[in-house]
Chains A and B, each alone.
Chain A
Amino acid sequence: GAGVSQSPSNKVTEKGKDVELRCDPISGHTALYWYRQSLGQGLEFLIYFQGNSAPDKSGLPSDRFSAERTGGSVSTLTIQRTQQEDSAVYLCASSFRDTGAGEQYFGPGTRLTVT
């Protein structure tokens, strides 16, 4: 079946511009996560959605970052007024349900370059 998909695969933007990154989770997966993967920094947790509950935004690095999940499916991560330090690979993952021991299925990522 189809896995987690993300778009675009690559995004180059100028400093100060806003960007939107999209994630389509696996159908039926109630939990959705966003991570940032930077060279030498590993995976940095950004935000987590579980069903209809309020999202856990504790990992968002600044108020320029926001995310929403519509209809319990597709999610969009928005970065406003991008900065060069936002350059990274943004990964989305979903899991069937959040039990703490479930497998996360990752998308291919969006490589964001801020010039």
Chain B
Amino acid sequence: AQRVTQPEKLLSVFKGAPVELKCNYSYSGSPELFWYVQYSRQRLQLLLRHISRESIKGFTADLNKGETSFHLKKPFAQEEDSAMYYCALSVHTSGTYKYIFGTGTRLKVLA
């Protein structure tokens, strides 16, 4: 079955410390993976997608097919990074695409 697992509900780090938000997926096809972020009182929005191989706000995520992971990383956390982060997988079924989201990880960056 297709699944996205984010094992940490809450992750607290100090400002300036490295941060890694874990995401593992289960999918037999070729995965399309995303990270979405929801800041306080804002809408859920795309942070980055693996196909773009981009770095947004200092965050990067590398797809590791061997470990079926797509962890989100940032070398030096900032207070403004505090938010809810969701990992998402796009799966192709019956001619259409469906997005499967993980349960999310709340990141708190402490001063």
Contacts and interface: CB of A to CB of B under 8 A. Distances in A.
A56 to B, nearest CB: 5
Contact of A42 (B49, B86, B98): B86
Interface size class of chain B, counting residues whose CB lies under 8 Å from the partner chain: 20 to 34
Interface residues of A, number: 28
Contacts of B90: 100-101
Interface in A81-105: 91, 93, 98-101, 103-105
B98 A43 contact: no
Contact of A35 (B9, B101, B103): B101
| Residue from B32, B96, B98, B104 whose CB has the most chain A CB atoms within 10 Å | B96
B32 A101 contact: yes
Given A42-B86, A42-B103, A99 B97 contact: yes
B104 A91 contact: no
A19 B92 CA distance: 31
B57 interface: no
B51 A101 contact: yes
Contact of A108 (B6, B43, B46, B99): B43
Contacts of A56: 94, 96, 98
B45 interface: yes
Interface string B67-107: 00000000000000000001010101010111111111000
Interface of B: 6, 9, 32, 36, 43-46, 49, 51, 86, 88, 90, 92, 94, 96-104
Closest CB pairs A-B (n = 4): A42-B103, A43-B101, A100-B97, A106-B44
